[in-house]
Chain A
């Protein structure tokens, strides 16, 4: 095979910066979890829950997840297309602009500038920066795909293109606003239309930023880690197109029992339930790819991350449609059940896949053996236990909260005051903060392991079993 001069320097930079922003996201997450149980930890005006919470979510989505998306896409596209990046200069510009955008976002959110739209809080100048960043990134990936050596595209490339196009459409439409000053704008939509567009964006950001890219990574790194191909490429293609077809109609399930038209709510509910099929198409494809390879769950730490990750994806995509059903939504919506659902997705599914992807790439892009596989295994258990404590405690809290909110006396009055329901939440909120600390510790172990890999790891021939995750 012709030796290609791949650009790994840019992948290395994105790996480092994504880990930095990931650490910020989890650290701020732990801080806000303590602010919930100890209000004295709020320090107005900047370090309050209201200002730190969007920094936690945006650092997690745009810093950590999108940072890993940039790193892995720039790596995978070169490998699968067997050709270097279309433009190294564009990739370098993307790196600097990415960090400038994240810093600008964090600073303005701390200063209290916000659109108040969840996951889209940044004001219009930063929206413009994000659009420039995404166009630069998308152009480089798509142009690289166009000059690929193989005619047929592997499934990861399909998911990558969907993510690039999907995020671009969602973000531009939801960004439409009328600026009235440098840091203040008003949405182009009003009332229920605004809410509908916001959750069309919000839920599909989950699809195009936190589902399609991790699936691209999973489909690439699982067979590369096990050494055997995926079970069925055709099944992956069908799952891809059905996911694309169904996902974009589901956003309105965030608005059940609200004044948006009833038929839109019903359509969103129906499509949300149908979405189980493509999601589990990928889950089964992952499981069936392990036929004859299940012993690697013991021997290969990368497989553990990847299979647990896809398992959480499967659980997430059963729980999500269940929540989208009107009757169940009426019970759990606005309770602590919902953040537990989201964190199973982010800490369990997305981050598990991101950790595995970085563990796979680092020996290859730095040409170093992983410093310590026992540390990688320790990290696996820390993030798994931390996430489970986080999610399970808040699922219990959510059910309790919903039960108390709905409890009525025989005369029709509420049994509990709102404050009484809040007091009942404290043990669960402590458990969440504790789970967050365990997860944070796992992340620190991850960063230490990779730091030591780069600093002291033995030079490696990257095709050895150890580099692929096998002991």
Chain B
């Protein structure tokens, strides 16, 4: 594997870390209620 392939995999890993942080934040108990508000609000757009 050359430098380009390590960069490619490095970017992939970096994005995975960001994704993992999003999962942790979304399923944090503190955000439980806030995370579901939008699905009720969208029914009230008439």
Contacts and interface: CB of A to CB of B under 8 A. Distances in A.
B42 A154 contact: yes
A224 interface: yes
A411 interface: no
Nearest to A81: B45
Interface string A222-256: 01100101101110011001100100010000000
Contact of B26 (A224, A230, A234): A234
Contact of A223 (B5, B15, B39): B39
Contact of B36 (A234, A238, A267): A234
B13 to A, nearest CB: 11
Interface string A438-464: 000000000000000000000000110
B43 A233 contact: no
Given A223-B43, A229-B43, A234-B26, A155 B19 contact: no
A249 B36 contact: no
Interface string B18-46: 11001100110001101111111111111
A223 B26 contact: no
B16 A238 contact: no
Contacts of B22: 237-238, 241
Is chain A's binding surface mostly helix, strand, loop or mixed?
helix
Contacts of B12: 249, 267
Interface residues of B, number: 28
B23 A224 contact: no
Contacts of B19: 241-242, 245
Given A238-B26, A242-B19, A245-B15, A233 B45 contact: no
Interface in A144-170: 150, 152-156
Contacts of A80: 42, 45
Contacts of A261: 5
Contact of A237 (B8, B18, B26): B26
A233 B5 contact: no
A442 to B, nearest CB: 30
A263 interface: yes
A267 B34 CA distance: 36
B31 to A, nearest CB: 8
B1 interface: yes
A245 B9 CA distance: 13
Contacts of A305: none
Nearest to B45: A79
A242 B16 CA distance: 9
B8 to A, nearest CB: 8
B4 to A, nearest CB: 9
A153 B38 contact: yes
B16 A245 contact: yes
A28 B46 CA distance: 39
A82 interface: yes
Given A234-B27, A245-B19, A267-B12, A150 B41 contact: yes
A390 interface: no
A429 interface: no
B36 A233 contact: yes
A220 interface: yes
A263 B5 contact: yes
Nearest to A153: B38
Contacts of A1: 44
11 contacts: A80-B45, A153-B38, A155-B38, A156-B42, A229-B39, A229-B40, A233-B37, A234-B27, A238-B23, A264-B8, A267-B8
Closest 3 CB pairs of A and B: A229-B39, A233-B39, A234-B35
